Structure 1
Amino acid sequence: MTAEDPLIDDERITAFGRLVEVHARLERLLGRELEADADLPLSWFEALLRLARSPDGELSSGELSRQIALTSGGVTRLVDRLSTAGLVERRPSPADRRSQLVTITEQGRAALGRACAVHVRGLDEHVFSRLTDRDVRDLERVLDRLRPDR
């Protein structure tokens, strides 16, 4: 630690910095691969994956916004692009007409299937090939403890 400011070298700051650095690197690498090999931006992939994993393949715009950490305006623009591409459909929520439900289409599921193959290949190459089985279990445990819903 330095005499001027002992927190500059704090190991918590360093550990968090490594997490941010790894996240940014992986996001760039995996995003480039999805765009090049599946013609799907990473943000589209994430939205389609969240929809496909949800009951009936649909979420409210608000819930989708919470799950992918975008503002309501950001989700609106994202869903507009996905809808124009035929990957999702929108309809008013029967429970609240002010809210919209976003549903993945069959075309969206097909695009997601192709993208998942690309993404798994990239995850294996850039992440899991560098970790032991125990590392993976430890990583899952730590990340689960940091998730807000846990």
Structure 2
Amino acid sequence: MSPANRENDEAARAADSRLVHDFGLLIKAATRMEQRIDTALRKECQVSHTMFEVLIRLCRHPEEETSQRRLADDLTLTSSGITRLIDRMEGAGLARRVPAPGDRRSVLVEATDHGRAVFLRAATVHARVVERYFVAPVAAADYGRLIRSLSEIEKTLRDD
């Protein structure tokens, strides 16, 4: 067998490996889940899934000061990406920027009354989609193990 053929065979085996396949399933499932959620939220609430994620953070602890930088870090967005997103959310009346007390250079973001109302509707839509496509297909006994496993994976990634 020629070196090129041997390399082709090795590449084919690597591409067909169990780890590549298993991780690919996770990515495909997560991507399709994200698409289902985003489609439902846009159709029923006129917000993207990313806007919903911002509203989660702003509504979870409304007394906490939330900066654009913190939102960008939480959502793995660039500084310019979060700026554009908050611009769109301000334009839609979902959020507003406010000066940070004691730091004229910092800007905080908070949900508006309209943003909280939209969030409550969107949370219902989100829950319905998650229940149908994430919870229902998994046996009850396996669901707890799945969540614990995902938590361990996330913790390992966060701690490294």
TM-score (norm 2): 0.84
Is 1:87 aligned to residue 81 of structure 2? no
Tell me by how many angstroms 1:95 deviates. 4.8
Structure 1 residues without counterparts, runs of 5 or longer: none
Tell me by how many angstroms 1:136 deviates. 2.0
In structure 2, the residue corresponding to 1:130 is in which secondary structure? coil
8 Å CA contact retained: 1:58, 1:104: no
Aligned residues: 149
Q: 1:87 to 1:58 in 2, by over 3 A?
A: farther
Tell me by how many angstroms 1:3 deviates. 4.1
Q: Distance in 2 between matches of 1:54 and 1:145?
A: 25
Match of 1:45 among 45, 52, 71: 52
Q: 1:11 to 1:111 in 2, by over 3 A?
A: same
8 Å CA contact retained: 1:93, 1:99: yes
Q: Distance in 2 between matches of 1:95 and 1:130?
A: 50
8 Å CA contact retained: 2:62, 2:110: no
After TM superposition, where is structure 1 displaced by more than 3 Å over at least 4 residues in a row? none
Kindly provide the amino acid, as one letter, of the partner of residue 96 in structure 1: D
Q: Which residue of 1 aligns with 2:117?
A: 110
Matches for 1:1-150 after TM superposition, within 5 Å:
3-5=9-11, 6-56=13-63, 58-147=65-154, 148-149=157-158
Q: 1:21 to 1:91 in 2, by over 3 A?
A: same
Q: Distance in 1 between matches of 2:99 and 2:80?
A: 17
Structure 2 residues without counterparts, runs of 5 or longer: 1-7
8 Å CA contact retained: 1:92, 1:100: yes
Q: Distance in 2 between matches of 1:57 and 1:88?
A: 15
Shifted more, 111-120 versus 34-43: the winner is 34-43
Q: Pairwise CA RMSD of aligned residues?
A: 1.8
In structure 2, the residue corresponding to 1:98 is in which secondary structure? strand
Kindly provide the amino acid, as one letter, of the partner of residue 87 in structure 2: D
Q: Distance in 2 between matches of 1:86 and 1:57?
A: 20
Q: Distance in 1 between matches of 2:118 and 2:21?
A: 38
Pair member with larger Rg: 2
Kindly provide the amino acid, as one letter, of the partner of residue 4 in structure 1: E
Sequence identity (%): 35
In structure 2, the residue corresponding to 1:86 is in which secondary structure? coil
In structure 1, the residue corresponding to 2:105 is in which secondary structure? coil
